[in-house]
Amino acid sequence: MPRPACTLATGMFATALLLTTASADEGPYAPPPNYYNSVTGTGEVLREQLRAAMSAGHIQRQYGEFRFAAAITDADPDVPGNILLIFNRASVPATWDQGGTWNREHVWPQSRQPGTANNNTRGNLGDHHALRPINPSINSSRGNKPFGFAETTGQFGSLGSYWFPGDDDKGDAARALFYSDVRWGAELGLSLVNTFPVGFQMGELASMIAWHYLDPPDEFEIRRNHAVFSPAMNPLYFTNNRNAFVDLPEVVWSLYVDQANDSTLFVGDAPEADGSSSVSVTLNTLTGTALGQIPVTLNKSGQAGTYYRVTTTSGVESSITGRHNAFPIGDTDTTRTLLLTPAPGATDQSGLFAEQVIISNLDLTTQAGPGMGANDADDTILVELAVYDPAVASFDQNETLDELLLDLGPIEPGSGDAVTAFDFFNIAPGPTAAPMDIELITATGDTGALSVAFDPVAALPAGTGETFFATLSDAEIGEFEAVYTFRAFNDRALFTQPGEGTDLILRLSGAVASACIPDFAEPFGVLNFFDVAAFLALYAKEDPRADINGDGVFNFFDVSEYMALYNAGCP
């Protein structure tokens, strides 16, 4: 149902606000509501809880089944029938062709696990969370190299004895290793280390942790996790278990680093002692549009990386939302810009509405102290969503008129300029209408003779107008026309996106002509060709009567002025 508008006063929005319903939707690929209910601890307790959650009901699939499951789990969202390969993100046909186009990559290398993979193999060697489709030559190049060098950026490739997954997949690779470590580590003897791995070890752990915060789960990885799990999406090969490090990326610090994450998130100048902060902003927009946006900066202090959730009330949207958002480890890259915009339907009616954006630090640890990690209280952006009816520009105060014709003549030369007033009005009805700006866009035609005295209009309130003047100069004889095009906008100081604007066209005309000119030929009182012939005869003799402009000199200017007067029809 539509939201009730608040009371308005004296043409401005009053301060009474309506708070709309909050939304905590995590999207179509979220885990079932109860899937992680038992995950409540930290450290080694957390490890066991995660292992239990990822093991419960797990249907172990075979290595061979991934030849066909990949068409679902790794589907290219933009090319039906294709899949995306790991490391190079190439899009190739999903159909299995005996490994010619793509083959199966063990993110935790096969030779660093117990056993050997065949099409019937289960366990981590056949786990679809731990397998990815890959280009065969890239698979060969990677071999069994561990991942490493946290500071590396750019494309995938070998770094000596290590392998860099590339910026697009370094977080994905880390979370696949975290999954194998926790889901299968105790059972198969797998472990993550910071030294060069031997036996069933894999690493390096420090790089995996860094990449986890540098490359949060994207839409592809989030969807993939759900597709591996879901009987609805993947009815033949679903596993009924999930990678918790995609669903709950915040568990990594407590599990692999320590219990003293020192991150504090805040908006505004500085947080309170408990880490909470708030800032108030006004988002101005127009009814029936999605126009308008306002940026708000989110800051992180502390050296630890952290994940955070952004939730909004129903009338506002944020460019950053959900729980898959991260700040990296260290004291650089410590700000994020949230662009806030009206939500669909929020501008259906005018009024002032109270909205909120809540930022939650998702870290689990408590030992860093007040206001840090799990002790970091939520941060709030209070959004006043001001929805205005658009301004309506017109030359008339009673109805819409976007083109006006003004005739300022005829006048006599030297008799004084002709001046005529015209008005711009903002005729938008009601107290919630937007103020209006007007500027001159173009002026064409005889703009020397026909001019407009105009200063740009700023924030013209609804129901009011402003007067300007058009002038016809008496300095030059002739007939003149000019067109002045103005453009009216919703108040550009009030709206970051005021709309395209409305053109208002002022057409001016006028003539400057003598009341009479010498009537040289009979019959007198009739101006015709014989008068022109008589004038030219007098001009040839330099007769004083032919000195039309009275400057004592007989030249082209006398002829020109006489003909202009003649053409103006002055008898």
Give the C-alpha separation, 81 to 168, whole Å: 22
Please give the share of the chain, as a percent, with pLDDT higher than 90.
Answer: 81
CA–CA dist 58, 239 (Å, integer) = 6
- The architecture (CATH level 2) of 393-512 comes to Sandwich (2.60)
The predicted pLDDT at position 484 comes to: 98
Cβ partners under 8 Å of residue 10, min gap 6: none
Model confidence band, residue 518 (pLDDT cutoffs 50, 70, 90): low
In terms of phi and psi (left: phi > 0; alpha: psi -120 to 50; beta: otherwise), the region of 351 is left
Triad 507, 509, 510: Cα angle to 5°: 160
Q: Among the CATH numbers 3.40.50.720, 2.60.40.10, 2.40.40.20, 3.40.50.11140, which is that of 8-23+261-388?
A: 2.60.40.10
Q: Work out the number of other CB atoms within 10 angstroms of the CB of residue 284.
A: 23
What is the rounded CA–CA span in Å between residue 436 and residue 394? 11
pLDDT band per the 50, 70, 90 thresholds, residue 336:
very high
Residue 58 three-state SS: coil
Residue 547 CA: distances (Å) to CA of 118, 544, 556:
113, 5, 10
Using DSSP's 3-state secondary structure scheme, residue 248 falls into coil
Share the mean pLDDT of the chain: 92
Q: Give the 3-state secondary structure of 343-391.
A: CCCCCCCCEEEEEEEEEEECCCCCCCCCCCHHHCCCEEEEEEEEEEECC
pLDDT tens digits for range 389-410: 999 999 999 999 999 999 998 9
Q: Give the span between the Cα atoms of 326 and 211, in whole angstroms.
A: 11
For the residues 502-524, what does the mean pLDDT come to?
A: 80
**pLDDT value for 25:** 45
Would you say 405 and 509 are in contact if contact means Cβ atoms under 8 Å apart? Answer: yes
- 3-class secondary structure, 297: strand
| Model pLDDT, residue 325 | 98
Residue with tokens 């709950």: 248
d(CA 201, CA 108): 9
Q: What is the pLDDT of residues 58-107, one digit of tens each?
A: 999 999 999 999 999 999 999 999 999 999 999 999 999 999 999 999 99
For residue 450, the model assigns a pLDDT of 98
DSSP run (H or E) holding 47: helix 43-55
Give DSSP secondary structure letters for 321-346.
-EEEEEE-SSSSS-EEEEEEEEPTTT
How far apart are alpha carbons 114 and 561 in whole angstroms? 107
Distance CA 446, CA 469 (A): 16
CA-CA distance, 91 to 78, in Å (whole number)? 9
**Could you tell me where in the chain the CATH 2.60.40.10 domains are found?**
8-23+261-388, 393-512
β-strand partners of 23: 312
Quick one: which of 482, 484, 480, 506 has its CA closest to 410?
A: 480
Q: Which alpha helices (DSSP H) does 406-464 contain, by range? A: none
pTM: 0.81
Give the per-residue pLDDT at 73: 98
Between CA 147 and CA 135 the distance in angstroms is 18
Residue 11: the pLDDT is 39
